[in-house]
Amino acid sequence: MSNILVIAELHDGHVRKSTHSAIAFARQAGHPFSILVLGQGAKAAAAEVTAFGAAKVIVVDDAYLANPVAERLAPSIAAVAKSGGFDVVVVTASSFGKDVAPRVASKLAAGYASDISSVSAEGGKFTYKRPVYAGNAFATCEVTTAVQVVSVRQSEFAPAEPSGGASPIEDAPLAAKDPAAERVEFVALGEAKSERPDLGEAKVIVSGGRALKEKFAEVLDPLAGLLGAAVGASRAACDAGYAPAELQVGQTGRVVAPKLYFAIGISGAIQHLAGMKGSKTIVAINKDPDAPIFQVADYGLVADLFTAVPELVTELKKQS
């Protein structure tokens, strides 16, 4: 029987919803799991994850962990994994998870399977699938070490819902500090303020490409607002400065799989498709009938987006 440790991501005193994907992994694996909440204010936030069926919720609450700095977090994660006898450590493959997980793996002499899309626990052995080559192939792999570290793709592990019960909360001490942490100074968090849902959590995403030019927000905002959608962008739109970098959807940006994805003025480069191909329904609006995006779109509309998108807004308003 494995013993899984789920690492919660703490932000603004709350457990980020992305953590629910790592909890979903633990449930799918079907082995007992506990959740580690660490950071400043972790004790108060721990209550947010006591109803997910965890054996316990372990808390390391210390001002030393006020900011997400891998060199500060990794020692305590590794220490809890060791002292609690955990042999699988899992975190959601957000930028937080990707940053810290390898350091934890190194401390635990563990193999690290990153950004996995599914888990199988047949015969007591964990095997993972993970996308490679921008999602154009899937690899089945296993970790050969006694302890394993895993990061899970948020878009492939639907967030776990609370299952009731009340996991006991247990305090764990802050681990001895790493000398490396002395040589990194947290300067600032630049948070993009947006009233829209996070790309990783949105049910509908309206994404735009370079074709929108300076009218990126002007054209997309009414549609996104109407649908309660998150706004995404292609790399080309971000590089050209029409959209901020954190909106980028793709192999190297956010990987998303909403119920409905609008690709507007996006040609459909391989790197973009890698980030949204898993969406349930894909709509493409592009004036180039040969754009590769139409090969993955469920519904394609060959049209000038500057007239089609406002028309779409009008039509949706009419029907609602």
Partner 1 sequence: MKILVPLKRVADPDNANKVKVNAGKLETTGLEWKPNPFDEYAVETALRLTENGANTKARLGEVIVVTFGPKETETTLRGALATGADRAIRVDATDDQLDGDVIARALKAIAEQEKPDLILCGKQAVDGDANQVGQLVAEYLGWPQATFAGSIVSEDDKSLLVVREVDGGTISLRVSFPAVVSVDLRIVAPKSVKSKHTADTHTYADGVRFAALMAIMAAKKKPLVEMKLADLVGADTALKIKYDAFELPPARKAGIKVKTVAELVEKLKSEAKAL
The interface with partner 1 within residues 114-153 (CB under 8 A) comprises: 114-115, 127, 130-145
- Does 1 contact partner 1 by CB under 8 A? no
Cα separation, 256 vs 232, whole angstroms: 10
**What's the alpha-carbon Rg for the chain, to the nearest Å?**
21
Structure tokens that stand for 267 in this block? 């040609």
Cα separation, 258 vs 279, whole angstroms: 5
CA 40 to chain centre: 22
Region label for 208, one of left (φ > 0), alpha (ψ between -120 and 50) or beta (otherwise): beta
Instruction: Yes or no: say if 91 and 151 are a contact pair by the CB < 8 Å rule.
Output: yes
What is the closest distance, in whole angstroms, from the C-beta atom of residue 260 to partner 1 in the complex? Answer: 4
Segment lying near partner 1 (by CB under 8 A), choices 19-27, 43-51, 79-87, 269-277: 269-277
Segment lying near partner 1 (by CB under 8 A), choices 49-57, 163-171, 213-221, 274-282: 274-282
- Does 85 contact partner 1 by CB under 8 A? no
What is the closest distance, in whole angstroms, from the C-beta atom of residue 308 to partner 1 in the complex? Answer: 6
Segment lying near partner 1 (by CB under 8 A), choices 21-29, 81-89, 169-177, 273-281: 273-281
Cα separation, 113 vs 119, whole angstroms: 11
Structure tokens that stand for 309 in this block? 């998108």
21-60 residues in contact with partner 1 (CB under 8 A) are none
- Does 291 contact partner 1 by CB under 8 A? no
Q: Which of 39, 200, 222, 232 binds partner 1 (CB under 8 A)?
A: 200
Nearest to 264 by CA among 244, 246, 284: 284
- Does 317 contact partner 1 by CB under 8 A? no
205-234 residues in contact with partner 1 (CB under 8 A) are 227
- Does 83 contact partner 1 by CB under 8 A? no
Cα separation, 203 vs 135, whole angstroms: 21
- Does 311 contact partner 1 by CB under 8 A? yes
Return the number of the residue (53 or 67) whose C-beta is nearest partner 1: 67
Whats the size of the chain, residue-wise? 320
Cα of first residue to Cα of last residue in the chain, in angstroms, is 52
Q: Which of 1, 123, 166, 319 binds partner 1 (CB under 8 A)?
A: 319
What is residue 144's three-state secondary structure? coil
- Does 288 contact partner 1 by CB under 8 A? no
Cα separation, 265 vs 252, whole angstroms: 20
Q: Which of 1, 63, 176, 192 binds partner 1 (CB under 8 A)?
A: 192
Segment lying near partner 1 (by CB under 8 A), choices 21-29, 103-111, 160-168, 206-214: 103-111
What is the closest distance, in whole angstroms, from the C-beta atom of residue 50 to partner 1 in the complex? Answer: 25
Segment lying near partner 1 (by CB under 8 A), choices 48-56, 58-66, 206-214, 267-275: 267-275
Cβ neighbours for 314, distance < 8 A, ≥ 6 positions apart:
none
Strand partners, 283: 262, 299
147-186 residues in contact with partner 1 (CB under 8 A) are 178-181, 183-186
Return the number of the residue (162 or 299) whose C-beta is nearest partner 1: 299
Which letter does DSSP use for residue 158 in this model? P
